[in-house]
Amino acid sequence: MLEVKKLTVHYGVIQATKEVSFQVKEGEIVSLIGANGAGKSTILKAISGLHRATSGDILYQGKPIQKESTKKIVELGISQVPEGRHVFGGMTVLENLEMGAFLRKDKAEIQKDFKMVFERFPILEERKKQDTATLSGGEQQMVAMGRALMSRPKLLLLDEPSMGLAPIFIKEIFAIIKMINAQGTTVLLIEQNAKVALEIAQQGYVLETGRVVKSGTGKELLASDDVQKAYLGG
């Protein structure tokens, strides 16, 4: 579904990634793990058209998208849940969710999707009139995910969904990611929390200073000595 080939990205003179290659097959959950500054967010920004690659290819359903606008990329079915939630404070939960559907015109279908989001995140229905800025971190993460789902993505890009959350919320969010995937959405996940990310992933890639240094199934990486030592404290 997604093929990233030799992706190199710069910010001015700073090279953030170097010839990164990986694949996401339809129906999978794929996790990219790595420490601070490894280049994880940069890769997601390049895929969603927020930052242009210096070189390399990003193929989505066989077609290059690295020169497309973010709007076009969303229309093609790729939606990103950005790091740190980035929900719109000062707007209600419902208004935030509406923003996720801003490119869509199919009113009846949009109503169905509100229902779908509230089924997945019942707490959001209870809080739908509340200012999003006053929600807990876990609830804001749910709003960000719900907002992305309102664009009906085929491929969901998740930027550190565990960040800043208590273990109980992490468990809940990851259970929901698994459910979203089981219901047909392909997921590319980037995480510093290697354990939770690899546990739910069919495939994983380890990034260090902008390069892929290891790849394998989620299980293989969890069991690998290098990964254990560097990311799992063991």
Q: Are the beta carbons of 174 and 200 closer than 8 angstroms?
A: yes
Asked if residue 73 lies in contact with residue 49, where contact means CB atoms within 8 angstroms, the answer is yes
Tell me whether residue 21 or residue 41 sits nearer to ligand ATP (CB atom): 41
Binding residues for ligand ATP, total number by CB under 6 A: 12
Nearest in space to 122 (alpha carbons), one of 176, 78, 164? 176
41 binds ligand ATP, rule: CB under 6 A: yes
Restricting to residues 166-195, which ones interact with ligand ATP according to CB under 6 A? Answer: 192
Q: With residue 211 as reference, give the H or E element that holds it.
A: strand 211-217
Rounded Cα distance, 76 and 83, in Å: 22
Helix axes 167-182, 107-120, angle to 10 degrees: 140
**Nearest-approach distance from CB 36 to ligand ATP, in angstroms:** 4
Which of 2, 38, 149, 170 touches ligand ATP by CB under 6 A? 38
Only segment of 39-47, 54-62, 128-136, 179-187 that touches ligand ATP (CB under 6 A): 39-47
Residue 40 sits in the site that holds ligand ATP (CB under 6 A)? yes
Distance CA 191, CA 83 (A): 10
Note whether 170 and 178 are within 8 A (CB): no
Question: ∠ CA(187), CA(191), CA(193), 5° rounding?
Answer: 125
CA-to-CA dists, residue 207 to 46, 56, 215, angstroms: 16, 17, 9
Q: Which amino acid is at 60?
A: Y
Q: Specify the stretch interacting with ligand ATP by CB under 6 A; choose among 19-27, 40-48, 107-115, 134-142.
A: 40-48
Q: Which stretch binds ligand ATP (CB under 6 A): 18-26, 36-44, 56-64, 198-206?
A: 36-44
Using the minimum distance from each CB to ligand ATP, give the nearer residue, 82 or 218: 82
Nearer to ligand ATP by C-beta: 12 or 234? Answer: 12
11 binding ligand ATP? (CB under 6 A)? yes
* Residue of 2, 18, 30, 34 interacting with ligand ATP (CB under 6 A): 34
- Interface with ligand ATP includes 85 (CB under 6 A)? no
**Which residues bind to ligand ATP, rule: CB under 6 A?**
11, 14, 16, 34, 36-42, 192
